Structure 1
C-alpha cells in the first residue's frame, strides 16, 4: 500500500540533516562571518580613527595652553638673562641755550693694528676692524650773545642780530649701528688673553672712531648749513612778530 504524499518528508519544524560528504569530495567553502574584518579596508578605518582622535587631543591641549589652563613645557635649558644693574645716579644737570641748527651722520672704518717690530705678526699682533657710525651737531649758543647784539627799529620794523659763530660738538657714536667686523690676534696674544683681558683696547677703538668722525664733520660744510638754518629760523620768528626786515650777522671766531 502506497504511503500518503508527504509522509516520508521531514517536518517543517526540524530541517533535514545533511548527509556527511564523502571523503573524496572537496570541503565546501565557508563564507566569511559578518563580524570578521574583511581585508585592508578595516585597517585603514582603524588608522583613520586613530589619527582623528590624536588630532583632537592635540587641538584640545593647544587650546587649553592658549588660555593658560595647562602649564607650558618649554626648553628646560633655555637661556636666561638677569639684569643686576644698579640704579641710575644723576651726576650733574645744566641749563642749555643752544639752538641745534644742523647735524650730520657719518660712518668710518677703523683699522687699528698693534704689533712689535722685528717680531713676526703671527706671534705678536693685535688688529681690529671696526665700523663706527656717529652723529655730529652744529649749534649756535645764544647764551654767548654780547650786549647790544640785538638792535630793534620799531619805526621801520627792522631787526639786526649779531650772533656768535656756529660750533660743533663731539661725535656721538651710535652703538646700535657700530660693530666690530673682525679681530686678529697673534699666537702669543691668544695665550695672554686667556689669562688677562685688555678692556682699554676697545675704548681706544671707540675714541679713534669718534675723533675721525669729528674731524670729518669740520670739513663737511656743516657750519654753513647751521648758519643758513639759524638765519631762516630768526627771520621767520621776527616776521611773525611784525618785523619786515631781519638782518642776521655772525661774528668771526
Structure 2
C-alpha cells in the first residue's frame, strides 16, 4: 500500500512558459554556499511536458516524481521552485542551462556520453528500460514483429535511437515532439506500436486499459538531473543528497509503489 504523499506541497511551484525573443532581466545570484541560481531564492527547473509520471500538469500545477525529488533538494535550502516548460532538444543540447533559462534540467533524462559532454549530471536516480506499447491483444513481443508496421517514438530520446538501430528495415518510424502525442498515436491506431521508457509507458497503460506493454528491452538507461557544465558542483551535491535521502524513498513509493527504486 502506498504511503501518504510527500508533505512537500506545490504552493510555490509555478509553471513558466518561455517566451522566445523576450529580453530577460539578470536576477542571478550566488548563495553563501557557492550555489549559482538564475533567480535568487528559487530553484528553476527546465523540463518538457508532459512525461507522466515524472512531470506533468495537474490542476494547473506541475507535479510528478522528478518534481518531488528536486523539491526535496530545494526544501533543504529553503528555496522555492519554478518549472520552465521548453523544447526537449533545448534541454539535451545543454542550451537551456548555458543560456541561463534554468538551474537544473529534468525530464526522466537518460545519462549518455553525448549529453554528459555538454552538461554535468547528478548521481543516477532511476533505472529504466525501453518498452514496446501496443493496442491490447496486438501480440507483438519483439521489434522484429513490427516488420512493415508503423512505430511511434519521441524526438531526441534514447527510445528513438534504440528503435532506429533495432527495428526491421521496412518498419516505418514516426517521431513525435512529446510523449503524449506518441502515446496517443498508439492508442488511436495511427501507429501499430510505440517505444519509449518503461516507466512512462507502463504508467500510461495503467491509465488506459485499451493499450498494453508487451515487451521491455534492457538498455542500461539510468536517469540523472543536469546542471551547466563545469559551473555548479555545489548544486549537484545538494541534488545528490536529496537522491540519497529517506524523502526520496517516500517519493518513489508515492509514484511507483513498493518496487525498489533506482
TM-score (norm 2): 0.21
- Which protein shows a greater Rg? 1
- TM-score, normalization by structure 1: 0.21
Greater relative contact order, per chain length (Cα 8 Å cut-off, separation 6+): 2
